[in-house]
């Protein structure tokens, strides 16, 4: 994967397959500490200790259609290449939290990519999942919660044309279109 937004998309899709109803994605760019931190938290089925030990192995997967599971191993490799690490906290029935850190200025750190498009794809493709997305960086702070959007839309589905326009307007108003460094 060439950008971190695609890693976020992959990990969030894993959460959805694990039965999550709520996903929080937080990105913090701290230029003073030269750190980029991506946190993805869900309320899915969670993982036991044995699965947590194996989940970074690219040849381990819980998917029946494929024999490899590259999402978390690729994110972990990207973090390590950029002077960071990955931490996984999970437990059966408790959901999972993934925290990936990167040296922000590291020459091998992948760009964030199109976070706006990633969030739109996740929200529209998974209308029954509630998302909280936050980004704090040099351009300011952005925040989006789908519960509020769904409430404002009323009976109009979040995946409808009107829902998509609303999501885009919120993301644009908060500067999500400018995120990507």
Tell me what percent of the residues of the chain surpass a pLDDT of 90. 66
* Cα–Cα dist 21/43, whole Å: 7
Write down the domain spans for the chain. 4-176
Tell me whether residue 2 is exposed, middle or buried, using C-beta atoms within 10 angstroms of its C-beta: 0 to 12, 13 to 18, 19 or more.
exposed
Interhelix angle 71-81/4-17, nearest 10 degrees = 150
For residue 179, the model assigns a pLDDT of 41
Tell me if 142 sits within 8 A of 179, measured CB to CB.
yes
Fold of 4-176: Heat Shock Protein 90 (3.30.565)
What does the pLDDT average to over 80-104?
95
What stretch of H or E contains 88? Answer: strand 85-91
Over 80: is that where the pLDDT of 177 sits?
A: no
158: Cβ contacts below 8 Å, ≥ 6 apart:
123, 124, 127, 146, 149, 150, 166, 167
Residue with tokens 């390590």: 80
Number of helices (H) and strands (E) in the chain: give both, helices first: 6, 6
Of the candidates 54, 48, 53, 45, the one whose C-alpha atom is nearest the C-alpha of residue 17 is: 45
Residue 147 burial class via C-beta count within 10 angstroms: exposed 0-12, middle 13-18, buried 19 and up: exposed
Residues 56-69: pLDDT tens digits? 776 655 555 443 34
129-143 pLDDT, tens digit per residue, is 999 999 999 888 889
The answer on pLDDT for 89 being more than 60 is: yes
**Mean pLDDT, the chain, as a whole number?**
88
């Amino acid at each position: 994967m060439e950008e971190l937004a695609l890693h976020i998309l992959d990990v969030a899709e894993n959460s959805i397959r694990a039965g999550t109803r709520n996903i929080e994605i937080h990105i913090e760019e701290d230029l003073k500490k030269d750190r980029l931190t991506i946190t993805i938290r869900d309320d899915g089925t969670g993982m036991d200790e044995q699965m947590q030990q194996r989940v970074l192995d690219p040849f381990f997967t819980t998917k029946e259609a494929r024999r490899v599971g590259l999402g978390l191993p690729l994110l972990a490799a990207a973090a390590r290449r950029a002077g960071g690490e990955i931490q996984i906290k999970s437990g059966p029935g408790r959901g999972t939290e993934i925290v990936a850190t990167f040296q922000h200025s590291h020459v091998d750190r992948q760009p964030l990519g199109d976070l706006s498009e990633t969030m739109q794809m996740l929200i529209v493709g998974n209308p029954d999942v509630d998302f909280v997305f936050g980004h704090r960086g040099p351009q300011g702070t952005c925040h989006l919660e789908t519960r509020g959007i769904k409430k404002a839309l009323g009976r109009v589905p979040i995946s409808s044309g009107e829902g998509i326009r609303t999501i885009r307007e919120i993301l644009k108003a908060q500067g999500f279109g400018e995120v990507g460094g």
